[in-house]
Amino acid sequence: MKLDDDDDGDGAAGGRMNRIGGTCSKDNIVIFQGPTNPLPDGIPTYTVQILNVCVSGCSISNIHLSCGWFSSARLINPRLFKRIFYDDCLVNNGEALSPGESLSFQYANTFRYPLSVSSIACL
């Protein structure tokens, strides 16, 4: 499985991966997304990995993504990722991702959703 180096979820590779220092910003949250094996009924599936690429001193919580009308034919643990409102999805139930920490989930839909960071809180 190859995941795109894509920090804004638009499918274009080339996200900035070299984060040095403790400055906290939404640029420290990077989203990788790529296709995986389809469901048995043929619905495409995608794996999403969300990482805090900050090296140290910047735990990030309340990570919200722009996600449109995100939905999935495959159940996603709502503590990992859930749509709250149109174009507002919450990551990790609002809990912090520590420096270097990541989480991943899979979703199934007929198309790939563009996902991008809309807001965060620095701890």
Give pLDDT tens digits for 12-21. 333 334 445 5
Query: What percentage of the chain reaches a pLDDT higher than 90?
Result: 77
Q: What is the DSSP string of the chain?
A: ------SSSSS---------SS---GGGEEEEEEEEPPPTT---EEEEEEEE---SS--EEEEEEE-TT---SS---TTTEEEEETTEEEEGGGPPBPTT-EEEEEEE-SSPPP-EEEEEEE-
Per-residue pLDDT tens for 41-83? 999 999 999 999 998 889 999 999 999 999 999 999 999 999 9
In this prediction the pTM is 0.81
